[in-house]
Every structure is written in structure tokens, then in C-alpha cells.
Amino acid sequence: MGLFSNIPTDPPIEVFHLTELFNQDANPLKVNLGIGVYQDENGRTLTLPVVRSVEQQMAQDLTLTKNYLKGTGLDAFCTACLKLVLGEQSPAIVENRACSIQSLSGTGAIRIGLDFLYRNGFRTAYVSSPTWGNHDSILQTVGFEVRKYRYWNKDKLTLDIDGLIADLEAAPKKSVILLHACAHNPTGCDPSREQWIRISDTCKSRELVPFFDMAYQGFSSGDLDQDAWAIRYFAHEAKHELFVAQSFAKNFSLYNERIGHLVGVFESRDIIPKFRTQMATIIRRNYSNPPAHGAYIVATILNNPTLYGEWKNNVRAMYERIHSMRQLFYNKLKQLGTPGTWEHIIQQTGMFAYTGLNPRQCQVLIQQHHIYIMSDGRINVCAITQRNADEVAQKFYEVITTISDDPKL
Amino acid sequence: MSVRQTLTLTSKHQLWILSQFPRLASTNSWWSNVEMGPPDAILGVTEAFKRDTNPKKINLGVGAYRTDEGKPFVLESVKKAETLIANENLDKEYAPISGVLDFCQASAKLAFGDNSRVIKDQLYATVQGISGTGSLRIGATFLAKFFPGNKIIYLPNPSWGNHTPIMKHAGLDVKSYRYYDPKTCGFDFNGAKEDIEKIPENSIILFHACAHNPTGVDPRPEQWKELSAIVKKRKLFVFMDMAYQGFASGNIDEDAFAVRKFVEDKHNLILAQSYAKNMGLYGERVGAFTAVCEDKDEVERVMSQIKILIRPMYSNPPVHGARIAAKILNQADLRSIWLKEVKYMADRIITMRQQLVDNLKNNGSKKNWQHITDQIGMFCFTGLNQQQSERLIKDFSVYLTKDGRISMAGVTSKNNAYLANAMHEVTK
């Protein structure tokens, strides 16, 4: 008997398992509305042309070595990313009070940011209800007590702003508050600017630590600066000390190169060297230093005006496709006379729509209709295409009209 | 109190004083009490080297291979693989949590040999890791959560500086067994055996599979055989760290001897592999973690749990480097080039060792420097003590760590004589 023969087989992680089931399904009409990966009109996740050309250049460049990056990452990458998040004219950057640390995409940034907070005495964290599945897992692994703040009102299909504020008002001082900067995952529902200001005021008066998760800069409105509005308001106008975990998986279509960064904004520039050395220690005992490939690609693009322009256009194009698919899906549902209100589909932003389907309905969608959807009713709007929109809407209509033990109507 | 007076006080006093004057104090910051982290010792060596203006200066702190011209070396097999990959227009979609499958399979084969029972019966649970560090971290975290015995890991003394923080931070206690004998600058076989015999049953023991870091001292094959038997008798669980396969002797099978012998002796060991040195892929972070299992059912259980550990770390690994490594390992012509290149790197280091010993003799040194050629791999424990090491730095601009460790990668045919002379001067 091996030492580990009796350890439990844990259930697989839902979103990856869904993709596995999808891949195994032989039905030609199958659609995968699960994982948050951008797909084009032909259902393909293409690499951005600007990324391809940079990669090919890199492969020919004989001056590039494979030397280790610093633990905190490639400087050219970090400097450019800081500007992307905070804006070129950010007072925090000008005053040297902000710092970017390269990370293993968004997950890695959240992880090292929370490791830093934990080792400096922070113990309680709040996540939105609902939130990205891995937030809870990361927080628990690091050792935080995880609490929720109300977010999605499933009866009204909007943001429960009063519930949110009430929960933050009741939060203990020094609680870390995980906020989605834009294109909330899974609901796609973001606070308005007035609502962000209220959230900021509450964080200030309750002495809470804002920790932004920005995985979709550019996907919410199509405009990079607009999508960073909340972060910039908190940092510049409201003058919070805050953290931002940014992923370039989606907006650079660099999912598998694991490229992202963690931003820390502090009141004083004196904190920066302390923060950097602590981050270096945390990183050293986890993975020593980050992978170079994705960092060089992003740094090259962000630091070259022509490539940067090309990239912005690519992001805008992805945003527009998603936007039009939302409209298309909404139209189809309405045409079929699908019961319920569906405005939230076109009001929500980003890659995901929180449809409001219940777990039973989702199960039937998968098993009988080969439409792969997360059990909380979340769908990836990108996976809807001109070709499959009719079929997907039709199947939604069927499950909604035949199964209604927990109606969201 | 005047401003000038405040500036001469210690920082603790300064902080207190500043806190009495709200106008001056940064009272709204969360981070006023955040401690400065300790500086990295090895980084310090490189920084001091950079500041030195002596044209003869030598940096022997570098942990990456350098050519005889002192330049970093991107392998031809790597460049070729990269160009092929760039033209294949492969996707950028998320890899599975366990990484690139081709890479994992090829990695296991490289470690265990194609004919191993582990490969034939598919008894390996292998996942891609963030180079060696990340693979060690996965293993340590897995042990901390699931190891049914004593969650104490025994490291050789000395060991790689980052082993202890990785293990401790993952939740294991860390102890050691004798390894390096400073009297002989060689392997303290009897000391190791004595200590290992005393380790409580069902504890964990870590070995460097080849090219021990930092000493360069490896057990001989007959010694490995004895160690395997003792470890079996003591019912210890084995963690192998293999960061230099191929890079040590120039031969990938020879360097894997210990791993394969232990597997043959039916240790269900765990293994961390790195491709940083042997493929020169340092910054691409290519590595693998493997658990050798009893049967396919155990493989499945172990895989499911490892994936759950990885998800809150970084979700899934970076593919670029793994694709390069997989291509090299699996494509015959590239593999052949790579094997020659890894032998070339190992041979250069072996040659430098020999030249250094010859040059020391030519300087008239009466000391026994045999350990320099007995030791293997990137690092060499010269036997110089702290004062001698400090003199090397101060008087000769030869930069090494205070424990007398030099990186052979920094030695070239051009600086070899100068180095030998300097070493002779501080030890005569």
C-alpha cells in the first residue's frame, strides 16, 4: 500500500471540469459557455496578431537571453503596467508612492498581495456575494477569515448597494475588501460612479483596505482609462492606500503565459523599499522569480506607441464583439417570448452574464442540450456566435419554461 | 526639539518623535510599522562586484552558466525549438492545472529512464512546476497537508539556502543530517550514515540527486546504494531535488543514477526537477514535480489533490518554457543537439576545475586541492574560511560568498590563472 492510497480524491474544480466534459462530448451542436476565455465569431481563442509578431521578433533576437528576472519582475514591464492602471499623470506615480510587482497572472498577484497583508497582521477579508470561485480558496489558504458583503440582488437583478454599504459599515477596522475594478465576475454588474464614491467613503470611515481585482481592463467599456476609473478615484481623489491585482490573461489573450502584476499604492514613498523587500521574500519562497516570456511581450507592446495603439484596437474589437453578442442573445430571448426580464443581459458588462438560471436548469442544459454552463447560471457571452445564438436561446427557453422549481422570474 | 537634533537620533526615536507631531507624521498610513526585509546575501555579492572598478574583478557568485567569454548562453536547441514554436502558432489558452502534458510525460521519462517500471506501468503523478523552486514548493505543500508520518524534513548540511524557507513556509519542520566534511572538503559519509540511522521512522529526508548545491560534493554510486538501503530500513520518505541532470557529469543517465537506484529499490519517492541550468531556461521557469505512486489509483488521487494545491497559488503554469523543453526532449534531432550542448557546458566546467588545480600547483601551493576536481557541478566549496574569502574580495576583487563557495560558471580560461594566484596568496 502506498502512503497516499487512502487520501480522498477531491472533486475537480468546476470550471476546468466543465471544459473537460465539453471536450469529451461528441455532439456537434455542443457549446461551452463555461470558462472565461475570449472567443471570436468562429469559437476560436486566437492569439492577438500584435502578440504573434512580437513573439516572432523575440525568437529571432539574438541579444535576448534567458537570464532570471528579478524576483519582483521585469522593470520595463512593471513601470509600464503601473501607468496602465493609475494613468500616466498619476500623483502616486509622480510622487513615487506606487509600486508594481510582476506576478503569475491575476491569481498569483492576489496570492502574493494577500500573503503580504497576512504577514503584516491583516486577518479578515470580505468578498462580494457572489465572487470569482478562487477568491475564497486563496484567502482561506493564506489564512484569512472570509466574510461576504452583499452584492447581487437576485430578485431585482441589480447591485444591492444598500446591502453592500451596510455590510462594509459593519466590517471590523483593517478588514481587507476585495473589489472587482470592472466587469464583475460572475455577475457583470458594476457599481456606478456614485455608488463607487459611496463605497470609497465607507472604506475610509471604517478604515478598510481596498484590494482591487482587475482582470478585464478594457472589456467593460472598451476604454482602458474608463475601466480603471474606480481604482484611480480611490487612489487619487479619495487617497486610499490600496492594492490592485491585474491579469493580462484576457485583455492580451495571454492566458497560458501567466502574466500579471500587483500594485501597491502607499501614503509615503518610504514604504516602497520595505514593500519591495517583503515581496521579494514572499516570492523567493514560492517560486523564486517570475516567467520572462509574457513579461517581455507585454512590456514591448506597452512601451511602443504603435504596438500599444494596435493593442488598444484589439481590446476595443473584443469589447465590441461581446457587446453585440449580449444584444443578440437578448433579442433572441425576447423574440422567443422567454418568461422573465432579460435587461440585465445587456446592462451587465464584461465577459460574463449572470443569467439567473438555477442549478437544476443548468444541469439539464448540460446533460440534455449539450450547453455547458456553470451551476450558478454564469455564461461566457463570447461563446455565443451568430451561428449558435438561435440554438442557445432556444435551449434556454426550453429549460426555463419546463423547469421552474426555483424561479428567478 | 530642533529638526537637526531629531535627525541624529535612531530611527525608532525618530518615529516616536514624529508621531508626536501629527503635522509631520504619516498617521494615516497602514504601513508605518512595516519592517524592512533582510537583504539577500548572494545578491549583495553581485552588487559589490558591480561597484568594483578593478579591471581584473571576477564574479564567482553567479548561479547561471557563462561561456568561456563570460557571457550567458542561450542553447542552440532552445533557439531552434523557439523558432519552430513561434511558427506553429500554438494557442495561448490556459494549460491544464497540471501543465503541458507532453512536457510532464517527457520529464518523467528523462528522470526515470524510458525502461523504468515507473514509466512502463505509469506510476508517476507529474505536474509542471515553476522551475525547481515551484516544484519543491508543491511537494512541500503536498507533504504538509497529506504526509501521514512526521512532518519533519531532514536536509543535508549545508543545503541550498532557499530549501529551508520553502519547507518552513509550507508548514514542515526542518532538521538536518551531516553531509559536508570541512576537513576533507568532501562527503562525510560516516557522519551522514550515523545521523540518518538516528532519524525517527516515517520522517522525510531530502537528497540532492547530483551536483550538490552549494558544496559540489556528491556520494559515489556505491555510497548511494548504501544510503538507499539505510533509508529503506529507517522507513524514511524520500524527496529528491534534481536541478542539474546532465549538467553535472555531462551525461543525463549518469546524473540520474541516484533517483533511478532509489526507484529500483522501491522507494515511492517524490522528485523536483529544474530545467533552468541543463537547458539554460532560467527565466522561463521550467520544472516538474513528480510523486512515484504504488498504483494507478494512487496516481489519480494524488493528481486530484496536487491540482487543488496549485489553484490558489497561480491557477495553472506558464507554457512557453515547457513547450520548448517538451519539443527538445521529444524531437530526435533537437534532443541530440541538446545532449551535446549539455555535455559541452559540463565539460567546460570540468576543464576549468582541472585548470584551476593545475594553476594552483604552478603557483607553488602546497595545499591539497583535489576536492576541486572531485566536486562536481556549478559550485565548488573551496575550503577557504571566512577571513580568506574576505581577503579574496578585498585584495583581489574576486567575489564569492563568505562560506568559500565559488561558482565555476564564473571561471574562464582567461581568469583562471589570476584566480589561482589569488587563492594561493590568501592560503599560503
Phi, psi for B17 (deg, rounded to 5): -60, -45
- Mutation for testing the B interface, residue in A1, A4, A44, A185 having most B CBs under 10 Å: A4
Is the Cβ pair B165, A284 closer than 8 Å? yes
Q: Any idea which of A239-248, A288-297, B27-36, B366-375 has the lowest mean pLDDT?
A: B27-36
Q: Are residues A98 and A240 in the same domain?
A: yes
Residues A37 and A99 placed together within one structural domain of the fold: no
On the question of pLDDT at A227 being above 70, the answer is yes
| Structural domain boundaries enclosing B198 | 94-330
Q: Residue B11: is its pLDDT beyond 90?
A: no
- Residue of chain A whose alpha carbon sits nearest to that of B65: A67
Give me the pLDDT at residue B15, please.
Answer: 55
Confidence check: pLDDT of B2 > 50: no
Could you tell me the pLDDT band of residue B22, with boundaries at 50, 70 and 90?
Answer: very low
How big, in percent rounded to 5, are the helix, strand and coil portions of chain B?
50, 15, 40
> Which of A195-199, A230-234, B23-27, B185-189 comes out lowest in average pLDDT?
B23-27
Per-residue confidence (pLDDT) for residue A346, from 0 to 100: 94
Overall average pLDDT of the B191-217 stretch: 97
The verdict on A313 touching B (C-beta cutoff 8 Å) is no
Does some domain include residue B146? yes
What would the mean pLDDT of B409-427 be, rounded to a whole number?
A: 96
The mean pLDDT of A162-171, rounded to a whole number, is: 98
Cis peptide before A28 (omega within 30 of 0): no
Q: Which of A277, A303, A329 is the last residue of a domain?
A: A303
Which domain CATH number covers A264?
Answer: 3.40.640.10
Mean pLDDT on A227-255 = 97
B391 and B270 inside one domain = no
Asked if residues A105 and A247 have their Cβ atoms less than 8 Å apart, the reply is yes
Name chain A contacts of B29, Cβ cutoff 8 Å.
241, 266-268, 271
The predicted pLDDT at position B13 comes to 53
Number of structural domains (chain B) is: 2
Is A222 found in the same domain as A100?
A: yes
* Dist CA A45 CA A375 (whole Å): 23
A294 closest CB neighbour out of B89, B280, B318: B318
Residues B325 and B365 in one domain: no
pLDDT beyond 80 at A117: yes
What is the Cα–Cα distance from A102 to A100, expressed in whole angstroms?
Answer: 7
Percent of chain B with pLDDT over 90: 86
Interchain contact, A271 vs B133, CB within 8 Å: no
Phi-psi region of B202 (alpha: psi -120 to 50; beta: other; left: phi over 0): left
What average pLDDT score do residues A214-233 get?
Answer: 97
Question: What angle in degrees, to the nearest 10, is found between the helix axes of B416-427 and B332-362?
Answer: 40
Catalytic residue from among A152, A167, A196, A250: A250
Q: Is A268 in Cβ contact with B26 (below 8 Å)?
A: yes
Residues B159 and B252 in one domain: yes
Across the interface, do A258 and B317 touch by the CB < 8 Å criterion?
yes
Whether residue A9 lies inside any domain: the answer is no
Q: Assess whether A393 and A283 both reside in one domain.
A: no
pLDDT at B8: 44
What ipTM score was computed for the predicted complex, to two decimals? 0.88
Using the 3D structure, point to which of B275, B305, B330 is the last residue of a domain: B330
Decide if B318 touches A, using CB distance below 8 A.
yes
Whether B126 and B241 map to the same domain: the answer is: yes
Beta pairing, strands A124-129 & A145-150: parallel
Examine the pLDDT at B186 and tell me if it is beyond 70: yes
B3 has a pLDDT exceeding 50? no
Contact: A68, B282; criterion CB under 8 Å: yes
- Count Cβ atoms below 10 Å from residue B418 Cβ, excluding itself: 16
Residue A340 gets the label, from left (phi > 0), alpha (psi -120 to 50) or beta, of left
Q: B162, exposed or middle or buried, with CB in 10 Å at 0-12, 13-18, 19+?
A: middle
Q: Among all chains, which residue has been given the C-alpha cell 516602497?
A: A272
Buried b (16+ CB within 10 A) or exposed e, B171-208: ebebbbbbbbbeeebbbbbeebbebbeebeeebbbbbb
Q: What is the mean pLDDT of residues A255-273?
A: 96
Q: Is residue B102, in this structure, part of any structural domain at all?
A: yes
Q: Give yes or no for B268 touching A (CB within 8 A).
A: yes
Look at residue B223 in the predicted model and tell me its pLDDT: 98
- Note whether residue B255 is domain-resident: yes
Average pLDDT of B123-135?
98
- The answer to whether A168 touches A176, Cβ cutoff 8 Å, is no
At B255 the three-state DSSP class reads helix
Tell me whether the omega of the peptide bond preceding residue B22 falls within 30 degrees of 0, making it cis: no
The mean of the pLDDT values for chain B is 92
Cβ of A285 within 8 Å of Cβ of B165? The answer is yes
Rounded to an integer, the average pLDDT of A223-229 is 98
Contact list in B for residue A67 (CB cut-off 8 A) is 64, 72, 282-283
Name which of B49-63, B322-336, B361-375 the model is least confident about: B49-63
Look over chain A and give the mean of its residue pLDDT values, rounded to a whole number.
94
Question: Could you tell me the CATH number of the domain that includes residue A379?
Answer: 3.90.1150.10
Tens digits of residue pLDDT in A353-378: 999 899 999 999 999 999 999 999 99
Domain CATH for B408: 3.90.1150.10
Confidence of residue A3 (pLDDT cuts 50, 70, 90): confident
Q: What is the mean pLDDT of residues A66-90?
A: 96
Which residue of chain A comes nearest to B123, CA vs CA?
Answer: A2
pLDDT tens for B100-120 read: 999 999 999 999 999 999 999
Using CB atoms, pick whichever of B30, B305, B320 lies closest to residue A293.
Answer: B320
Residues B296 and B375 in one domain: no
pLDDT at B247 > cutoff 50: yes
Residue B23 has pLDDT above 50, yes or no: no
Q: Is the pLDDT score of A121 beyond 70?
A: yes
CA distance A383 to B402: 59
- pLDDT at B24 (0 to 100): 39
Q: Are residues A386 and A271 in the same domain?
A: no
Confidence (pLDDT) at B26: 43
Q: B9 pLDDT exceeds 60? A: no
* Shared domain check, A336 and A294: no
For residue A253, the distance in angstroms to the closest alpha carbon of chain B comes to 7
- Smallest CA–CA separation between B276 and chain A, in Å? 9
Could you tell me if residue A185 is inside a domain?
A: yes
Mean pLDDT, residues B228-233 taken together: 98
Note the pLDDT of residue B7.
40
Please say if the pLDDT value at position B394 is more than 60.
yes
- Clarify whether residues A110 and A149 are in a common domain: yes
**Domain span including residue A325:** 14-47+319-402
Interface contact A401, partner B, CB < 8 A: no
Which of A353, A363, A299, A291 is CA-nearest to residue A322?
A353
Please report the pLDDT score of residue A312 as a whole number.
Answer: 97
C-alpha cell at B365: 601551493
The reply to whether A309 falls in a domain is no
Domain contains B30: no
Tell me, yes or no, whether B160 lies in a domain.
yes
Q: Please say if the pLDDT value at position B324 is more than 60.
A: yes
User: Residue range A28-42: average pLDDT?
Assistant: 91
Same domain, B320 and B405: no
Average pLDDT over residues B7-16: 50
Q: CATH number of the domain that B110 lies in? A: 3.40.640.10
User: Does A380 reside within a domain?
Assistant: yes
Say whether both B255 and B376 belong to one domain: no
Q: Does B11 touch chain A (CB under 8 A)?
A: no
Do B234 and B123 lie in one domain? The reply is yes
Q: Are B288 and B131 in contact (CB under 8 A)?
A: no
Q: Which distant-in-sequence residues (6+ apart) come within 8 Å of B237 by Cβ? A: A3, B143, B147, B149, B202, B203, B204, B205, B269, B270
On whether both A396 and A249 belong to a single domain, the answer is: no
Q: Are residues A92 and A185 in the same domain?
A: yes
Q: Give the pLDDT band (50/70/90) at residue B54.
A: very high
**Whether A83 is catalytic:** no
Average pLDDT over residues B323-330: 98
For residues A25 and A120, state if they share a domain.
Answer: no
pLDDT at B60 over 60: yes
Q: Do B60 and B98 share a domain, yes or no?
A: no
Q: Are residues B209 and B266 in the same domain?
A: yes
| Predicted TM-score (pTM) above 0.95 | no
Determine the pLDDT at residue B29: 67
User: Are A40 and A145 in a shared domain?
Assistant: no
Residues 77-106 of A with CB under 8 A from B: 104-105
**What are the chain A neighbours of B96 within 8 Å (beta carbons)?**
16
Portion of chain A with pLDDT greater than 70, in percent: 99
**Residue B25 confidence (pLDDT) above 50:** no
What number is the average pLDDT over the span A133-154? 96
Give yes or no: residues B113 and B164 share one domain.
yes
pLDDT of residue B40: 67
Work out the average pLDDT over A171-194. Answer: 97
Active site residue: A196, A213, A227, A408, which one? A213
In a domain, A352, yes or no: yes
Q: Is residue B283 part of a domain?
A: yes
Instruction: Identify whether residues B49 and B169 lie together within a single domain.
Output: no
Evaluate if residue A1 carries a pLDDT over 70: no
Same domain, A259 and A335: no
For the stretch B334-378, pLDDT in tens is 999 999 999 999 999 999 999 999 999 999 999 999 999 999 999
